[in-house]
Chains A and B, each alone.
Chain A
Amino acid sequence: MSYISKPRFQHPQLKTNDLGLTRRDYEGTLTTLCGGCGHDSISAAIIQAAAEMSLEPHRVAKISGIGCSSKIPSYFLSKSHGFNSVHGRMPSVATGANIANKELSYIGISGDGDTASIGLGQFCHIVRRRVNMLYIVANNGTYGLTKGQLSATADLGSRTKSGEESLYDNIDLATLAIELGASFVARSFSGDKQQLVPLLQAGLTHKGFAFIDIVSPCVMFNNTDASTHGYKNTWENYVALSEIDFVPMRTEISTSYAAGKEKEITLHDGSVIHLHKTGNNYEPYDKENALHHIYEYKKQGKIATGLLYINQSTSDLHELQDTVDKPFNMLSNHDLCPGNEVLNDINETFC
């Protein structure tokens, strides 16, 4: 909700990025979410990620569904167009937007109710269609806006504030995304900006469908000790498969790492992801390995986070459909209309 405007004064010595923009240029309106909501940390992480990597704000489109999570796009990048669509249907709107203009960056923001319940079908199919975008789920295991019902990502046995216990197995969106062919799948925690920011940057840069499942506690309705989506449980059971740094394409690489302790992944535009091994020796290139790790940790009650899976060799929707380079929304009459002479020939085939 964006009816409270933000004060526009800023520190005169605020750092500028390559575009000459400050962090303030990446902000949105003042949040109306509850104090301490994980979702506000996600907005902050997106602001930091976009500012650091000098993303042009107006070349980004933000699309969401309905729910607390889907309000997030109001709170970052106010110079970007946003579309708060209908419940569970962000994937189709994002698909259409993407097909209309291949040149923008697309950030889809959804929640666990929006994606894992009402929109599960649309989620599965946007993954299948390989839309080039970053799809974020702010996952709190509960329906916040309707005051605390369990969602489909709530773990078996997890309890909400009202004491309601989840009787069903959870839907794990990260493993589902891997199964369905997402080419970049990560999991993170709204409380861990150090991990989340480079993951967002890598996801935004990745060409193809990038998915990040972010555990983002609901302080009002699902933050008890008996909830697996609360701060306490997440901090205690959070395992990073590897630590991550993101170096944007333009930046000269100056940091050096000890040999054998890191892995470099060069993305299509020349940006680099550095993965620092954390004793796991984790390889994010293999689907089965990724799924195995996630399941193994889950058995121990742990949450595997970090870059879970990446595959840079798949084609995106535009490549699969072999669309022209010029965005559809810039094609003119001349590009699109075959004219009367051709129509005359077509008439002949119906005589």
Chain B
Amino acid sequence: MPELVSSNKVKSIPKINDFVVKFANVNGSGSASANNMFAKAVFRMGIPVSPHNIFPSNIQGLPTWYEVRINESGYLGRREGVDLMVTMNEQTIKKDIDSVLPGGYVLYDSSKALEKNLIRDDVNYLPIPLKDICLREFDKPAQRQLFKNIVYVGALSAFLNIDFKILTGMVSDQFRGKVKLILPNIHSLELGHQYAVDNFTCPLQLQLKPSKKNKNKILMDGNTAVGLGCVYGGATVASWYPLTPSTSVVDSFGKYCKRLRIDPGSGKRKYSIIQAEDELAAIGIAIGAGWNGARAFTASSGPGISLMQEFLGLAYFSEVPFVLFNIQRVGPSTGMPTRTQQGDLLSCAYASHGDTKHILLFPSDPKECFEYSADAFDIADRLQTPVIVMSDLELGMNEQVCDRLTWDDKRVYDRGKILTAEQLEAIEKYGRYQDTDGDGIPYRTYPGTHPNKGSYFTRGSSHDANAAYTEDGNIYAQVMDRLALKFKTAVKYLPKPLVNGKKKNKLGMVYIGTTHSAIQEVLDSLGKKGIAIDTMRIRAFPFHKEVREFFDNHELVYVIDQNRDAQLKSLLKIECNINEDKMHSIRNYNGVLITAQHIERAILGSMQDLANTSAGSA
């Protein structure tokens, strides 16, 4: 009989559809699919849920966590503190148990007695002999290991009141037709469920109640959405070099292309995926394809983006469209490859030597990943320049609840200013970099269009309006000025910032991307304290005029960055000439998604400081 440690002894506050369950596992132990199953079951019960994978840069043996926030109000950011910890990793068990909130629960494998130093008197323990159960029930070593994970999910279904039919339905879906896999999985779920019911008062104070909040919602990760967006956006060429956390972008593109991009008549492919020898080649291939009129992209992350700098300058200066997905991770250098950061803002906005500038898009959820990915190809073609979609590991590799994806079937790709043979025939003289329309965007021709007209020489060296080499400083400056004009024009093709709140207010808050997941929670919490803050979510760079106006309309604006150096704040300062006194920087750079609590603490802290300062000066 396993030792039962203080089971259900400590008083817990009842929490319904509002708590955090965290799984501490060893990576490579098969926990990911079990933990996923748990999160998806909560989603299928209609309750808003946000799982966060905190994993090592390793294949087997190191600690990995899966943190699931459940919140009926739809707060999908991370929340500090754990209400129920499933401890499956002896390396981290002390820290894991310490992180549980008082009154919370610890589910552990009681096949071995818990050491005395791990016993807290302010939490409840849920001992389940997972190893012993699996030893008894299964013969194969692999099964004995894997099914421990499924057993604890079964137990959680009793503890938290998960509809058991949802779990068995998911197993049947996942292993459709493979009875040999379905049966032991369902058996394991039942073993866990039964053990919990027999030995504990179920459910616990933490409970799930079916909800209707997920109507018209999906649970998807950002990289899957990006890959799908590329299919819908008409990309035909993907060139890449494997790099966490961007790899699954191309995986997703490939998966959907196999389904959706095979020519029905010939069985041939309407796409090409080229795994290049490095990121230099990956971006070179995308540029070659973009130059020749195919919609092309590459996906990478920090170290790969650094390697791409030279080519980004070429594409900017010679005006070649393609899309680059930067799934940001923690830098500098190799940094923390499997942790999240918004650390490449400055290095992407001005990537490459000389005066350069690039279009950046900042998606905040999977739906925007899908939409911006498709839009990015239109924007790149329209503006004849690279577009960098700035996702991050948090968004790219974690499932998130978002609205269902939609596509307007009337939409036609905007291929931008491209001259056909007939159009070339009609014009007297073609100049590749001639600003005919006065918007800074010249006209392209595809190679092979017309026998005598429209050919030009693309080059990264200084060129005139006809693409001819020049070392005339005035002509060079004219081209650079036109490029600057093009980036002014660019703004009208980019998603506007979203402003919430009154037009004029004392306080404002500005942020991008995944920070969005924390914002509503911050506003609600501060609202209860009588503090009103307007918000602006910036969705693209270069900035719209509304960005500057927001600062003009507020006395103090909190600028939230998920990096050490306040890169968003710097970019705003450089581009919008905003007074330093107007901005208060809030930063988070510990490798995990910024929380509402972090932001709130920073805001309240700054107010306290301000109050102290004025009290001192009075």
Q: Which residues of A contact B (CB under 8 A)?
A: 1-3, 56-59, 61, 63, 73-74, 78-86, 89, 91-101, 103-104, 121-122, 124-125, 129, 321-325, 328-331, 333, 335-340, 342-344, 346-347, 350-351
Instruction: Please count how many residues in chain B sit with their CB below 8 Å of the partner chain's CB atoms.
Output: 73
Does B363 sit at the interface, judged by CB under 8 A? no
Does B206 sit at the interface, judged by CB under 8 A? no
Q: Please tell me which one of the listed residues B270, B285, B404 contacts residue A347 in the complex, with CB atoms under 8 A apart.
A: B404
Which 8 pairs, one residue from A and one from B, show the smallest C-beta to C-beta distance? A96-B288, A92-B284, A329-B293, A100-B294, A81-B447, A100-B292, A96-B289, A96-B285
Indicate if the CB atoms of A325 and B291 lie closer than 8 Å. no
Q: Which residues does chain A contribute within 8 Å of B449, judged by CB atoms?
A: 58
**Once bound together, how far apart are the Cα atoms of A347 and B216, in whole Å?**
9
Report B150-202 residues with CB < 8 Å from chain A CB.
none
Q: What does the 1/0 interface line of B310-342 toward A look like (CB < 8 Å)?
A: 110010000000000000000000000000000
The closest CB in chain A to the CB of B458 belongs to A83
Q: Please tell me which one of the listed residues B267, B289, B448, B469 contacts residue A81 in the complex, with CB atoms under 8 A apart.
A: B448
Does B103 sit at the interface, judged by CB under 8 A? no
Q: Which residues does chain A contribute within 8 Å of B430, judged by CB atoms?
A: none
Does B115 sit at the interface, judged by CB under 8 A? no
Q: Please tell me which one of the listed residues A58, A93, A335 contacts residue B450 in the complex, with CB atoms under 8 A apart.
A: A58
Given known contacts A121-B277, A333-B412, A337-B232, A104 and B266 CB-to-CB distance under 8 angstroms? no
Indicate if the CB atoms of B457 and A73 lie closer than 8 Å. yes
**Once bound together, how far apart are the Cα atoms of A94 and B461, in whole Å?**
18
Does B276 sit at the interface, judged by CB under 8 A? yes
Q: Which residues does chain B contribute within 8 Å of A342, judged by CB atoms?
A: 260
Indicate if the CB atoms of A61 and B292 lie closer than 8 Å. yes
Indicate if the CB atoms of B294 and A329 lie closer than 8 Å. yes
Indicate if the CB atoms of A99 and B458 lie closer than 8 Å. no
Indicate if the CB atoms of B452 and A58 lie closer than 8 Å. yes
Does B456 sit at the interface, judged by CB under 8 A? yes
Q: Which residues does chain B contribute within 8 Å of A329, judged by CB atoms?
A: 292-294, 446
**Once bound together, how far apart are the Cα atoms of A63 and B236, in whole Å?**
21
Given known contacts A321-B272, A346-B228, A96 and B404 CB-to-CB distance under 8 angstroms? no
Does B428 sit at the interface, judged by CB under 8 A? no
Q: Which residues does chain A contribute within 8 Å of B284, judged by CB atoms?
A: 85-86, 89, 91-93, 95-96, 122
Q: Which residues does chain A contribute within 8 Å of B527, judged by CB atoms?
A: none
**Once bound together, how far apart are the Cα atoms of A85 and B310, in whole Å?**
10
Which of A80, A98, A100 has the largest number of chain B CB atoms within 10 A?
A100
**Once bound together, how far apart are the Cα atoms of A93 and B408, in whole Å?**
33
Q: Which residues does chain A contribute within 8 Å of B291, judged by CB atoms?
A: 83, 93, 96-97, 100
Indicate if the CB atoms of A93 and B288 lie closer than 8 Å. yes
**Once bound together, how far apart are the Cα atoms of A338 and B370, in whole Å?**
14
Q: Please tell me which one of the listed residues B236, B260, B268, B272 contacts residue A338 in the complex, with CB atoms under 8 A apart.
A: B260
Q: Please tell me which one of the listed residues B236, B256, B288 contacts residue A83 in the complex, with CB atoms under 8 A apart.
A: B288
Indicate if the CB atoms of A96 and B469 lie closer than 8 Å. no
Indicate if the CB atoms of B270 and A125 lie closer than 8 Å. no
The closest CB in chain A to the CB of B311 belongs to A86
Which of A92, A95, A323 has the largest number of chain B CB atoms within 10 A?
A92
Q: Which residues does chain B contribute within 8 Å of A81, judged by CB atoms?
A: 445-448, 455-458
Given known contacts A97-B292, A339-B409, A122 and B452 CB-to-CB distance under 8 angstroms? no
Q: Which residues does chain A contribute within 8 Å of B232, judged by CB atoms?
A: 337-338, 343
Q: Which residues does chain A contribute within 8 Å of B311, judged by CB atoms?
A: 86, 89
Given contacts A328-B293, A336-B234, 12 further A-B contacts (CB under 8 A): A58-B451, A82-B458, A85-B314, A93-B285, A95-B288, A99-B272, A99-B274, A100-B296, A125-B281, A337-B413, A343-B232, A346-B228
Does B280 sit at the interface, judged by CB under 8 A? yes
Q: Which residues does chain B contribute within 8 Å of A59, judged by CB atoms?
A: 448
Q: Which residues does chain A contribute within 8 Å of B218, judged by CB atoms?
A: 347, 350-351
Indicate if the CB atoms of B452 and A99 lie closer than 8 Å. no
Report B552-584 residues with CB < 8 Å from chain A CB.
none
Which of A79, A101, A325, A351 has the largest number of chain B CB atoms within 10 A?
A351
Report B432-447 residues with CB < 8 Å from chain A CB.
445-447
Q: Please tell me which one of the listed residues A3, A58, A61, A328 contacts residue B469 in the complex, with CB atoms under 8 A apart.
A: A3
Q: Please tell me which one of the listed residues B237, B412, B455, B456 contacts residue A100 in the complex, with CB atoms under 8 A apart.
A: B237
Q: Which residues does chain A contribute within 8 Å of B4, judged by CB atoms?
A: none
**Once bound together, how far apart are the Cα atoms of A91 and B287, in whole Å?**
12
Given known contacts A3-B468, A96-B289, A333 and B237 CB-to-CB distance under 8 angstroms? no
Indicate if the CB atoms of A328 and B294 lie closer than 8 Å. yes
**Once bound together, how far apart are the Cα atoms of A107 and B273, in whole Å?**
23
Does B387 sit at the interface, judged by CB under 8 A? no
Indicate if the CB atoms of A100 and B314 lie closer than 8 Å. no
Q: How far is the CB of B317 from chain A (nearest CB, A)?
A: 11
Indicate if the CB atoms of A351 and B268 lie closer than 8 Å. no
Indicate if the CB atoms of B455 and A58 lie closer than 8 Å. yes
Q: How far is the CB of A330 from chain B (nearest CB, A)?
A: 8
**Once bound together, how far apart are the Cα atoms of A250 and B445, in whole Å?**
30
Indicate if the CB atoms of B281 and A92 lie closer than 8 Å. yes
Indicate if the CB atoms of B468 and A2 lie closer than 8 Å. yes
Q: Which residues does chain A contribute within 8 Å of B280, judged by CB atoms?
A: 89, 92, 122
| Listed A/B pairs (9) with beta-carbon separation below 8 Å | A2-B457, A58-B451, A92-B285, A93-B284, A100-B237, A101-B448, A122-B280, A323-B272, A336-B261
Q: Which residues does chain B contribute within 8 Å of A82, judged by CB atoms?
A: 455-458
Q: Please tell me which one of the listed residues B228, B294, B448, B460 contacts residue A58 in the complex, with CB atoms under 8 A apart.
A: B448
Q: Which residues does chain A contribute within 8 Å of B260, judged by CB atoms?
A: 338, 342
Given known contacts A99-B294, A324-B270, A84 and B459 CB-to-CB distance under 8 angstroms? yes
Q: Which residues does chain B contribute within 8 Å of A85, judged by CB atoms?
A: 284, 287-288, 314, 458, 460
Given known contacts A96-B289, A323-B272, A347-B404, A101 and B469 CB-to-CB distance under 8 angstroms? no
The closest CB in chain A to the CB of B413 belongs to A333
The closest CB in chain B to the CB of A329 belongs to B293
Does B286 sit at the interface, judged by CB under 8 A? yes
Q: Which residues does chain A contribute within 8 Å of B234, judged by CB atoms?
A: 331, 333, 336-337
The closest CB in chain B to the CB of A129 belongs to B274
Indicate if the CB atoms of B451 and A79 lie closer than 8 Å. yes
Q: Which residues does chain A contribute within 8 Å of B282, judged by CB atoms?
A: 92
Report B384-407 residues with CB < 8 Å from chain A CB.
404-407
Q: Which residues does chain B contribute within 8 Å of A328, judged by CB atoms?
A: 236-237, 270, 272, 289, 293-294
Indicate if the CB atoms of B455 and A78 lie closer than 8 Å. yes
Q: Which residues does chain B contribute within 8 Å of A322, judged by CB atoms?
A: 267-269
Indicate if the CB atoms of A61 and B448 lie closer than 8 Å. yes
Indicate if the CB atoms of A91 and B281 lie closer than 8 Å. yes
Q: Which residues does chain B contribute within 8 Å of A3, judged by CB atoms?
A: 468-470
Indicate if the CB atoms of B268 and A56 lie closer than 8 Å. no
**Once bound together, how far apart are the Cα atoms of A316 and B271, in whole Å?**
16
**Once bound together, how far apart are the Cα atoms of A324 and B294, in whole Å?**
14
Q: Please tell me which one of the listed residues A79, A84, A100 contacts residue B461 in the complex, with CB atoms under 8 A apart.
A: A84
**Once bound together, how far apart are the Cα atoms of A304 and B446, in whole Å?**
40
Given known contacts A333-B412, A333-B413, A80 and B237 CB-to-CB distance under 8 angstroms? no
Q: Please tell me which one of the listed residues B236, B407, B451 contacts residue A339 in the complex, with CB atoms under 8 A apart.
A: B407
Q: How far is the CB of A123 from chain B (nearest CB, A)?
A: 10
Q: Which residues does chain A contribute within 8 Å of B405, judged by CB atoms?
A: 343, 346-347
Does B21 sit at the interface, judged by CB under 8 A? no
**Once bound together, how far apart are the Cα atoms of A347 and B250, in whole Å?**
19
**Once bound together, how far apart are the Cα atoms of A56 and B450, in whole Å?**
10
